[in-house]
Homo-oligomer: A and B are copies of this chain.
Amino acid sequence: MAETPEEAVNPRIAYENAFAGKRVLITGGLGFIGSNLAIRLVELEADVLIVDSLIPHYGGNLFNIEPVKDKVRVNIADVRDVNSMNYLVRGQDYLFNLAGQVSHIDSMEDPYTDLEINCRAQLSILEACRHNNPTIKIVYASTRQVYGIPEYLPVDEKHLLRPTDVNGINKMAGEWYHILYNNVYGIRAVSLRLTNTYGPRLLMKHNRQGFVAWFIRQAIDNEEIQIFGDGSQVRDLNYVDDVVEAMLLAAVYDGANGRIFNLGNTPPVSLLEFVRVLLEVCQEFGAGKGGYRLVPFPLDKKRIDIGDYYADYSKIRKTLGWNPQVPLREGLRRTVAYYMQYREHYWD
């Protein structure tokens, strides 16, 4: 991968008219980010095909696409199913490749399933494209987890990859398969390293996919939020609409091909700040009455924890003109409003 030299700042790439009539495949399209992306692509008049396997305890949820259920096609299939993927990639203009095992904890308890989904299936998706649709453009959802414990902050794309869990290692490999197939076979691909993303349609059934969803659920339920450690740990959070926009920008701009971009947000917030804003927002809706409490870090989480993290996202800002638009309080307002209305579809 030849890194291009420092370049001039691009204006935000225009993508709004790029998807009308285009055939778009979204793996993991019933999940959190995939469904928000599908809804946006329907607005942009794309012809959307969702692939999702609805694995229990993963993020897929048919209710997620309720607003567009008559305007998208849904194909239930597992990305590990080579024959299905060979067929489904045909004729597509874009592939948003979002299907994945995303739980760090689960990857440690069952590393083989994580390997099958995040490595083997990624190889077979890329082979499917190579053999059946080499002109497709792919946007791959990678993760900040590939960096592991930051050596410096903010973390830019030149930071070494030193993942601290099996999920991070396998996502690293999955990302590099995409870059490799771009460079060797010309299958155009871009990788976005997502940081914590939140918003409507986030999985809320359990607490195995990070703190954000669980805190939101507890706040809405008036339960006491337990913060591990002293709450000073720092993260950058993106509202899902901003992440969707980054994906659309990366899809339309061929100058991004073969490249890797951090997403991120400023200012970073501590877990304590996050919880305080969340509780204030919930109180606007008559919830958030459970407060919070600091508790010691459980061992299984502590030993794969990465400490403080926030990204330098100037590369995508300069290249694609992307800048997150939704501030934390506003994003949380929209999120809490969504779950207050549709709670029954996300947890008991």
| Residues of chain A at the chain B interface (Cβ within 8 Å) | 1-3, 108, 111-112, 115, 119-120, 123-124, 127, 148-149, 151, 158, 160-166, 169-170, 172-173, 176-177, 179-180, 183-184, 303-304
Contacts and interface: CB of A to CB of B under 8 A. Distances in A.
B120 A184 contact: no
Nearest to A120: B115
Contacts of A1: 148-149, 162
A123 B127 contact: no
A169 B162 contact: no
A326 B303 CA distance: 42
B163 A180 contact: yes
Contacts of A2: 149
B177 A164 contact: no
Secondary structure of the A side of the interface? helix
A225 to B, nearest CB: 27
A303 B184 contact: yes
B160 A119 contact: no
A120 B177 CA distance: 16
B164 A172 contact: no
A303 to B, nearest CB: 5
Contacts of A160: 158, 160-161
Contact of A108 (B148, B172, B184): B184
A158 B160 CA distance: 7
Contacts of A111: 123, 127, 177
Contacts of A170: 173
Contacts of A162: 1, 176, 179
B115 A119 contact: yes
A115 B148 CA distance: 23
A177 B166 contact: yes
22 contacts: A1-B149, A1-B162, A111-B177, A112-B120, A115-B120, A115-B123, A119-B119, A119-B173, A158-B160, A160-B160, A160-B161, A164-B180, A165-B180, A165-B184, A166-B180, A169-B173, A169-B176, A169-B180, A170-B173, A173-B173, A183-B303, A184-B304
A112 B3 CA distance: 28
Give the most central of A112, A176, A177: most B CB within 10 Å: A176
Return the 7 tightest CB-CB contacts between A and B, nearest first: A173-B173, A169-B176, A111-B123, A184-B303, A169-B173, A1-B162, A115-B120
